[in-house]
Amino acid sequence: MSGEELTELRKFVAPEFVFGSGAAMLAGQYAANLSTQKALVVSCQALESIGCTGQIVDSLTREGVACTVFSDVTSNPRHKEVMTGAEIYRREGCDAIVAVGGGSPMDCAKAIGIVCTNDRHVLEFEGVDNVERPGPPLICIPTTAGTAADVSQFCIINDTDRKVKIAIVSKTMVPDVALIDPRLTLTMDAQLTAHTGLDALTHAAEAFASNASSAITDLNAMEAMRLIHMHLRNAVERPDDMEARTGMMLASTYAGLAFSNAILGAVHAMAHSLGGLLDLPHGLCNAILLDHVIAYNFDADPEKYRRLGITLGADIPDGASLEEARESTLEAVRELKRSVGVTHTLCELGMTDEDLPLLAQNALSDACMLTNPKQPTADELIRIFKASC
């Protein structure tokens, strides 16, 4: 970064977090420290069925904290699920929320909290800094290494009536504490490990190239990309490898700290559009789009993208031309995707030409597009969508 860029005002927001094996079992202690009498535990049915949610409930009850479990949260959490959870929170007399899961339960939990304290519908909070009152105490316990909702000021909710994902961006979305335990990721299968890992890579890459980046976010983003390059293949191929699982969870955390403060870019804006209109998996959409958006953005900040490519293993000598650096960077991203089995296209997921105008329009309206290093037109976004088919 130049001296002028280093002197620009930048914020950095982060929650208290505990990282390491066994961190999740501190849920009861932290809830009790927050004077919690009764917690709403927000999770999903898959985690409840394998006993993960129950372990957290046991930790809470050992510390004298009563619990009600709300596990009817689906991927791409719907606004109706948020409102249902808020009703249960009120009816059960809860005074804190504990989220257990990937991005969907954590985003749903964040939204439930602000609905209850502000007595408003969740869709009314769309945008930046539109939350007047913070939610109740919130503890987040991530079970995937990717979304980093546990450390970010983002909350993404699917408005199923309009078929768009809304972004709620506010410091009130930052949890009071995140308990980040790599052991909880051991139950992820290879596909989920790949998709969430590439989601973390996208967080880091977009934060690094963001027009709101800073020296501090760059530091976190670069280290996240280095760790992903080092550990993602091993985590996919050897699911019991705790070194790889820990490396990926740390990478997810670093990437989350980066994007929470530098925001994101066109990949996420387009993925949100796909998730809202077609209900597609968020991490997979990011993975498919990432190299195509980098190809579009490259000339806006070639030095940063060259550094990104080198971090992912690209051999780019100092005298390389812009085109050589671009192609080497793209190949490094594509090779990582191929190595973990992500070879899908958006058309294979169900995207059609008829969807493209609305997908592009919704992406242009997404808050993440504001920090993309260059501002695309609808036609340019349509070409990127098509290139991802």
In this model, does residue 2 exceed pLDDT 60?
no
pLDDT band at 223 (very low <50, low <70, confident <90, very high): very high
Alpha-carbon span 217 to 52, nearest angstrom = 32
Alpha-carbon span 38 to 205, nearest angstrom = 39
Q: What is the pLDDT of residues 59-109, one digit of tens each?
A: 999 999 999 999 999 999 999 999 999 999 999 999 999 999 999 999 999
Q: What is the pLDDT of residues 285-313, one digit of tens each?
A: 999 999 999 999 999 999 999 999 999 99
Predicted local distance difference test score (pLDDT) of residue 11? 85
End-to-end CA distance of the chain: 35
Number of other CB atoms surrounding residue 377 within 10 Å = 10
The alpha carbon of 222 is separated from its chain's Cα centroid by a whole number of angstroms, namely: 17
Q: What is the pLDDT of residues 41-50, one digit of tens each?
A: 999 999 999 9
**Average pLDDT for residues 345-351, to the nearest whole number?**
96
Predicted local distance difference test score (pLDDT) of residue 146? 93
- Furthest C-alpha separation in the chain: 66
pLDDT band at 10 (very low <50, low <70, confident <90, very high): confident
Cβ-based neighbours of 376, under 8 Å, separated by 6 or more? 266, 296, 364, 369, 384
Predicted local distance difference test score (pLDDT) of residue 5? 64
**Average pLDDT for residues 203-215, to the nearest whole number?**
97
For residue 179, give the H/E element and its range.
Answer: strand 177-180
At position 270, the amino acid (one-letter code) is M
Alpha-carbon span 385 to 308, nearest angstrom = 23
Across the beta sheet with 127-128, what order do the strands follow?
Answer: 127-128, 164-169, 154-159
Answer yes or no: are the C-beta atoms of 251 and 233 closer than 8 Å: no
Predicted local distance difference test score (pLDDT) of residue 1? 60
* Phi, psi (degrees; rounded to nearest 5) at 333: -65, -45
pLDDT band at 220 (very low <50, low <70, confident <90, very high): very high
Predicted local distance difference test score (pLDDT) of residue 9? 84
Cα–Cα distances (Å) from 319 to 323, 325, 326, 327, 328, in that order, read: 11, 9, 13, 14, 13
**Which domains can be identified in the chain, with CATH numbers?**
16-185 (3.40.50.1970), 189-387 (1.20.1090.10)
Alpha-carbon span 234 to 245, nearest angstrom = 8
Alpha-carbon span 357 to 369, nearest angstrom = 16
List b or e across 89-109, with b for residues whose CB sees 16 or more CB atoms inside 10 angstroms. beeeebbbbbbbbbbbbbbbb
Cβ-based neighbours of 290, under 8 Å, separated by 6 or more? 198, 201, 202, 205, 267, 333, 337
Burial classification of residue 64, based on how many CB atoms lie within 10 Å of its CB (0-12 exposed, 13-18 middle, 19 or more buried): exposed
